[in-house]
Amino acid sequence: MSTPQMQRSVPEVLGDIIANFEEIVRAEIRLGRTEIKEETTKAVKSGITLGAGVALGFLGLGFLLLAAVYALTMMVAAWLAALIVGAVVAIVGGALASTGAKRLKSVDPKPDKTIRSMEENVQWAKQQIKSSGR
């Protein structure tokens, strides 16, 4: 536009403010979607780790129970092997479950950055409207 800014009419200025605000809102929506996608990905990965830990924990319990059965039915070295395998699997499962649970606690489903940015944009728009009305 070749017209100086001082000679622009109020409707023109308001139209520019509204167009800018619409573009900001679109950008904020894109940012919010990206932020939510990142947190969802983090939650899925943590859930998979937690699930693997729980599954291995149950498998370990199964081996421990098998070891108890071997120990009660036959007093030979086979029960000791099953006991060692069961204990190792249970320890690994517990470690995985603990890691997954810790990661799951760090997931924040609320798009904080987007909310802060939107609040700033609303304040900016209010300032623009105030200053254009003068």
Residue 116 has pLDDT above 90, yes or no: no
Write down the pLDDT at residue 6.
63
Write down the pLDDT at residue 133.
61
The alpha carbon of residue 121 and the mean position of all alpha carbons in its chain are separated, in whole angstroms, by: 25
Q: Which residue has the higher pLDDT, 95 or 105?
A: 95
Q: Contact, 52 vs 100, CB < 8 A?
A: yes
Write down the pLDDT at residue 56.
93
Tens of pLDDT, residue by residue over 19-52, are: 888 888 888 889 888 988 988 998 899 999 999 9
Mean pLDDT along residues 64-69: 75
Q: What is the CA radius of gyration of the chain?
A: 30
According to DSSP, residue 1 is labeled -
